[in-house]
């Protein structure tokens, strides 16, 4: 069966910018898909092409098996929630929500009942006759969501849906959004620049950079097995080591370079198997690097000096340096830090499991 949404070699050029570059992507029905990227990476342009506000320069967009090339925004089974919410300021909450339904010919008791149920869905009870300017930011966001859901679109596009809310409210709303999506089963595509938001919301995340998708995967895979250093750096941080493969010992790879490292390649999750003599880039996540006061004799161990400690509450971030200048970024939880009370300028040892080393493709 063909996927619900299929983008094939979609390119969009504006006068002097190449916003989306030969991008292909399949999205299944019922997914909550996040397009994650820095501003200007082309994610909003991609969303606007799905909504029908922009026409691709080349390539093909299919929704539910239907080519969208000649379908106007009004006729697509797609609705959009705008970053600015775009609520009609001269209409009440109820009229805003009813706008799309009226255009579809719904009226009378049926219309009232539908608007009522939408107001209940987004928990705006009692606010039906308010105008948008008399609502809080969170309430406006709900009106925008209800209005976009009113026509029961097969696909809902959300452009930075939570960006205008303050941090606390944003966290609560993230879970609500997921609840609503699960309740309705509508396919959601969310554009965001906030990695935490993408991780919380998405079933799959597509990381975009300069008009291209760098990697599309579930949040966990993206974090634990990033494809390249861009993705590894964009989602969280990592210590990068470049070197040459000097020995292959079954599933274990010996890499010599900035820091001699043993890598365990898991045939299930690692996509590439470099040859002897190849130059490779490795990444290690900060929480996978262990810090000890004394030498433990484990694999991948180095002696380091503590350069910097940043206390974050739940954990502390460390920057430690090998004597050849290689900087490790590592994280210690509160408990770990108390067990190994190393302070600035003190000597210690770091080691990491060969299985925790990520083989990058670049």
Nearer to another protein, 82 or 230 (CB): 82
Give the rounded distance of the alpha carbon of 206 from its chain centre: 6
**CA-CA-CA-CA torsion sign (116, 117, 121, 125):** positive
At closest approach, how far in Å is the CB of 130 from another protein? 6
Nearer to another protein, 161 or 219 (CB): 161
Site for another protein in 276-305 (CB under 8 A): none
Does 151 bind another protein (CB under 8 A)? Our answer is yes
At closest approach, how far in Å is the CB of 74 from another protein? 5
At closest approach, how far in Å is the CB of 51 from another protein? 6
Nearer to another protein, 92 or 316 (CB): 92
Site string for another protein, 49-78 (x = CB under 8 A): --xxx------------------xxxx--x
CA dihedral 185, 187, 191, 197 (to 10 degrees): 30
| Strand 155-159 with 78-81, pairing | parallel
Does 120 bind another protein (CB under 8 A)? Our answer is no
Q: Terminus-to-terminus CA distance in the chain, angstroms?
A: 34
Does 225 bind another protein (CB under 8 A)? Our answer is no
For residue 30, the tally of other CB atoms under 10 A from its CB is 14
Does 334 bind another protein (CB under 8 A)? Our answer is no
Query: With contacts defined by CB under 8 A, how many residues of the chain interact with another protein?
Result: 31
Chosen residue from 114, 130, 193, 321 binding another protein by CB under 8 A = 130
Chosen residue from 5, 19, 128, 304 binding another protein by CB under 8 A = 128
Chosen residue from 17, 38, 69, 104 binding another protein by CB under 8 A = 104
At closest approach, how far in Å is the CB of 110 from another protein? 16
Q: What angle do CA 38, 243, 215 make, to 5 degrees?
A: 30
- The closest of 322, 284, 327 to 303, measured between CA atoms, is 322
Nearer to another protein, 151 or 319 (CB): 151
Alpha helices in the chain (DSSP H): 43-51, 93-103, 108-121, 137-149, 167-184, 195-201, 219-224, 229-234, 334-339
CA dihedral 196, 200, 201, 204 (to 10 degrees): 90
At closest approach, how far in Å is the CB of 210 from another protein? 25
What is the rounded distance in angstroms from the CA atom of residue 179 to the CA atom of residue 214?
28
What is the rounded distance in angstroms from the CA atom of residue 208 to the CA atom of residue 124?
35
Counting beta carbons within 10 angstroms of the beta carbon of residue 33, is it exposed (0 to 12), middle (13 to 18) or buried (19 or more)?
buried
Nearer to another protein, 88 or 311 (CB): 88
Nearer to another protein, 148 or 216 (CB): 148
Chosen residue from 82, 230, 252, 264 binding another protein by CB under 8 A = 82
At closest approach, how far in Å is the CB of 114 from another protein? 14
List residues binding another protein (CB under 8 A). Answer: 51-53, 72-75, 78-80, 82, 84, 86, 88-90, 99-100, 103-104, 126-131, 134, 147-148, 150-151
């Amino acid at each position: 069966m063909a996927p619900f949404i299929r983008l094939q070699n979609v390119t969009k050029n504006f006068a002097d910018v190449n916003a989306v570059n030969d991008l292909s992507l399949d999205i299944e029905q019922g997914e909550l898909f996040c397009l994650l990227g820095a501003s200007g990476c082309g994610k909003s342009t991609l969303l606007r092409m799905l909504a029908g506000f922009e026409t691709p320069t080349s390539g093909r967009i299919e929704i539910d098996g239907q080519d969208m090339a000649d379908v106007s925004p009004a006729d697509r089974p797609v609705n959009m929630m705008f970053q600015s919410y775009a609520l009609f300021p001269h209409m009440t909450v109820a009229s805003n929500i009813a706008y799309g339904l009226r255009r579809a010919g719904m009226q009378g008791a049926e219309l009232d009942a539908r608007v009522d149920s939408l107001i209940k869905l987004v928990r705006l009870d009692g606010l039906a006759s308010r105008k948008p300017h008399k609502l809080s930011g969170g309430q406006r966001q709900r009106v925008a969501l209800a209005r976009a859901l009113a026509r029961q679109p097969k696909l809902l596009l959300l452009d930075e849906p939570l960006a205008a809310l303050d941090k606390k409210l944003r966290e609560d709303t993230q879970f609500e959004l997921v609840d609503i999506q699960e309740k309705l089963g509508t396919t959601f595509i969310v554009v965001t620049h906030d990695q935490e938001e993408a991780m919380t919301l998405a079933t799959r995340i597509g990381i975009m950079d300069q008009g291209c998708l760098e990697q599309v995967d579930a949040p966990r895979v993206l974090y634990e097995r990033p494809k390249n250093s861009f993705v590894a750096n964009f989602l969280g941080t990592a210590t990068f080591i470049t070197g040459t493969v000097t020995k292959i010992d079954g599933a274990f790879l010996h890499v010599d370079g900035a820091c001699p490292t043993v890598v365990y390649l898991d045939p299930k999750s690692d996509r590439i198997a470099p040859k002897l003599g190849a130059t490779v880039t490795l990444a290690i996540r900060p929480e996978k690097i262990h810090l000890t006061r004394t030498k433990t004799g484990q694999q991948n161990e180095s002696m380091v000096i503590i350069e910097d400690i940043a206390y974050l509450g739940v954990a502390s971030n460390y920057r430690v340096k090998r004597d050849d200048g290689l900087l490790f970024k590592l994280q210690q939880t509160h408990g770990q830090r108390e067990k190994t009370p190393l302070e600035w300028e003190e000597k210690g040892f770091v080691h990491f499991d060969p299985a925790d080393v990520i083989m990058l493709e670049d």
